[in-house]
Amino acid sequence: MNHIVNGDVVGGKIKSLKGNIVVWREMYDFGPLSQDWPLEETYNRRAEFFEQKLQIPLSFFIENCRSQYQLLNELSRSEEVVLWFEYDRYDQVTILYLLSELSALGFQKISMVSINEYEGIKPFHGLGQLSSQQLIELLPTKQEVTEEQIKEACAGWEAYCSNNVDELDNFIQKCHALPFLKQALLSHMTYFPSQQNGLNEVEFLALSMINEGINSFAELFNKLVRQRTNDGLSDLYFAAILNELMEGDHPLISSDSELPSYKQHNPKARIALTKWGLDVLTGKSNRMNLIGIDWWVGGVHLVEKASNNNM
């Protein structure tokens, strides 16, 4: 029996289990994706984006992608593979990828330990909250992945990587076999910008909180993720979102210091709303006109330049 886990914390806590433990470190909720790209092109395009937005060195990112895929490919096709993942967007999208990839590679028996609650732990955010003993005791609760779930994962990954958001929307309406997938993908859809103000729901919530006087990055992040429990949003991802709102001649927010990134994790930055940000928040202006956008949501590349006639 082999195991694929969603992070080093869980991997360390179940290390006493027999079999290989592969820690999967990719963020499929972030950065460019397309099934039209060969593997190396995918690595390179994503590495460039991660270096630009999160300051993760390009060569380090590519090497991690190659090494974890090699570990996956070296697992025995006849041994059971157990996926240890959670209910949120971050993990559910990873499940889509892994189930579709494991199926394509010919793995014969796949199971999942995937929960959204644990008795005595509230609020429950993820497997990392559990002790080694609690995690190991979950192993007998694993559920074998059915053929229907494999088919749903393959269709879901294809829709998620599509550059046509309607394909994903259509998939969401029909998906039912994977227990936490629909809610996670509905959360994913809120990362697309509103036509009304050009902000997605996370950006709008962040600006609203800043306007209410929550100016510390750490406090802002902690309060936002408590409200956005289905996202699995990391501090680096959130910082990248905020950095985009500080671009151009008409930034929506400002910061007194650099936001957290791979190279520095200091969360002490204080953030303020600009007059342009207030205009967007109150519906007087649209983000697209002020700062434009160049961002990826799954397989959809959102690109729009700012207007040149803003005051």
202-225 per-position pLDDT tens digit: 999 999 999 999 999 999 999 999
**Domains contained in the chain, CATH given:** 2-189 (3.40.50), 201-304 (1.10.10)
Tokens 């006849």, residue located: 78
Q: What is the pTM of this model?
A: 0.95
What pLDDT was estimated at residue 267? 80
CA 33 vs. chain centroid, Å, equals: 12
Kindly tell me if the per-residue pLDDT of 64 is higher than 60: yes
Tokens 């494991």, residue located: 102
Residue 180 to residue 182: CA distance in whole angstroms: 6
Question: Which two three-digit tokens encode residue 191?
Answer: 């990362």
**Using one digit for the tens of pLDDT, what is the confidence trace for 142-173?**
999 999 999 999 999 999 999 999 999 999 99
Q: Across residues 252-275, what is the average pLDDT? A: 94
